[in-house]
Amino acid sequence: MNLHEYQGKSILENYGVAIQKGIVANNSNDALEAAEKLTDLTGTKWFVIKAQIHAGGRGKGGGVKLAKSLKEVKEISESIIGMQLITPQTPSEGKKVNKILIAEDVYYPGNSEPKEFYVSILLNRSTGKNMIMYSTEGGMDIEMVAEKTPHLIFNEEIDSALGLLPFQARKVAFNLGLEGAAFKSMIKFITSLYRAYVGSDASLFEINPVLKTSDDKIIAVDAKVSIDDNSLFRHPDFKNLRDLAEENPVEVEASEAGLSYVDLDGNVGCMVNGAGLAMATMDLIKQSGGSPANFLDVGGTADAERVELAFRLILKDPKVKAILVNIFGGIVRCDRVAQGIIDAYKNMGDTIKVPIIVRLQGTNAEQAKILIQKSKLDVIAATAFEEAAIKVQEVLR
């Protein structure tokens, strides 16, 4: 589950990580009120207005702007709320901005220049350890830094049993070239950031930029936070952080019905039971010259109701040119699944306009094939894996 910047920052703050303070708003009046509150809270007279969408690069797309007066807060808020924000990370049509964050300006002048760093924490899947990735080149595209100046990106791996050790936090602060008060602040920052990452069961924290202010404070100016969905049962308070407007509506509907559905870009819808079979089926589709339009796992009970819902979800995708149903009947008998498909098909009348290839294998597979053939529905039955592949190929031609 991805979070908005303001939500991520609030998790950080709960763990004692220093952040650029801000208040979220839905309209320009609330934005004004937020700005006045921030002045009371921090003394700031300048503000940054930041579009809250699930995509980075907002600054480049005009979604992050500095306001030097309350009048500008109002004007800028009005121009950002409701805009279709296009950044290098959004789809080409951009994303609609529904909320903005009014934040204190933290790039104020002082004894030293403000300096931007990059810090992220993520799981290194090849070593199975959490890793702090950091760089002196903050504020910009980290992908660019990785390409042009990879030696400026450092990694620090953390042993899960030991946690982040004090020398590791010092090493980060040292490699970032800090000294004095800023060095100490960075150690505190990294230590509490790591605690927040583990405590919230996150799979990604990306703080870009981490800012050293002109008075040597170290604070998170941006926060990209992803929480591991498998851990959400441990965090009931995170439940309302999900922003359904940011998610694929079909995936949302599927997950509410307990189906695993992942939208992909291909043209063959696939309905399967079990994730392993889903993987094999997607390979099969690729080999037969098509490409999967989705990953849909109906799970253990492939009854008429679930099959019908699965068909409806798949058919919402206009890219789908054929549907391959590939179900292994172990505990559920194939003839029951076949009956489910037939019933679902009949219920749906003429809403199904693409060919359906059904491959049922396992208990009572032959009876299932006969049932489907006898049903006189426009469904192509197969029992062997390859047979199904050839039939998909034929209908796509």
Residues with catalytic roles: 118, 206
For position 221 contacting ligand GDP by CB under 6 A, the verdict is yes
Contact set for ligand GDP, span 156-215 (CB under 6 A): 208-209
**Cβ(310)–Cβ(298) under 8 Å?**
yes
Q: What is the DSSP string of 82-94?
A: T-EE--TTS-TT-
Q: Which of 137, 216, 222, 297 binds ligand GDP (CB under 6 A)?
A: 222
Instruction: Work out the end-to-end distance of the chain between its first and last CA atoms, rounded to an integer number of angstroms.
Output: 39
274's contact among Mn ion, ligand GDP, none, with CB below 5 to 8 A by partner kind, is: none
Which tokens sit at 354?
């693409």
For position 57 contacting ligand GDP by CB under 6 A, the verdict is yes
Residue 45 C-beta: closest distance to ligand GDP, Å: 12
CB closer to ligand GDP, 20 vs 361:
20
CB closer to ligand GDP, 96 vs 234:
96
Which residues face 136 on adjacent strands?
Answer: none
Residue 189 C-beta: closest distance to Mn ion, Å: 16
For position 329 contacting ligand GDP by CB under 6 A, the verdict is no
CB closer to Mn ion, 87 vs 208:
208
**C-alpha closest to that of 26 among 77, 66, 91, 85:** 77
Q: Which of 64, 207, 356, 365 binds ligand GDP (CB under 6 A)?
A: 64
CB closer to ligand GDP, 6 vs 311:
6
319: how many CB neighbours lie within 10 A of its CB? 14
Q: Which of 30, 33, 45, 139 binds ligand GDP (CB under 6 A)?
A: 139
For position 297 contacting ligand GDP by CB under 6 A, the verdict is no
Q: What is the DSSP string of 16-55?
A: T--B--EEEESSHHHHHHHHHHHHHHH--S-EEEEE--S-
For position 208 contacting Mn ion by CB under 5 A, the verdict is yes
Q: What are phi and psi of 364, to 5 degrees?
A: 60, 35
Residue 390 C-beta: closest distance to ligand GDP, Å: 48
**Cβ(393)–Cβ(357) under 8 Å?**
no
- Beta-carbon contacts of residue 348 (< 8 Å; ≥ 6 apart): 308, 311, 312
| CA distances to 14, 114, 158, 367 from 109, in Å | 28, 8, 36, 79
For position 222 contacting Mn ion by CB under 5 A, the verdict is yes
> Looking at 50-58, 74-82, 174-182, 387-395, which segment touches ligand GDP (CB under 6 A)?
50-58
Residue 290 C-beta: closest distance to Mn ion, Å: 39
**Cβ(293)–Cβ(392) under 8 Å?**
no
Dihedral sign, Cα of residue 185, residue 187, residue 190, residue 195: negative
CB closer to ligand GDP, 12 vs 270:
12
Q: How many residues bind ligand GDP (CB under 6 A)?
A: 17
Residue 240 C-beta: closest distance to ligand GDP, Å: 23
For position 41 contacting ligand GDP by CB under 6 A, the verdict is no
Which tokens sit at 146?
């990785």
Contact set for ligand GDP, span 68-127 (CB under 6 A): 105-107
> Looking at 67-75, 170-178, 219-227, 295-303, which segment touches Mn ion (CB under 5 A)?
219-227
Helix axes 365-374, 334-347, angle to 10 degrees: 20
Instruction: Give the footprint of Mn ion on this chain (CB under 5 A).
Output: 208, 222
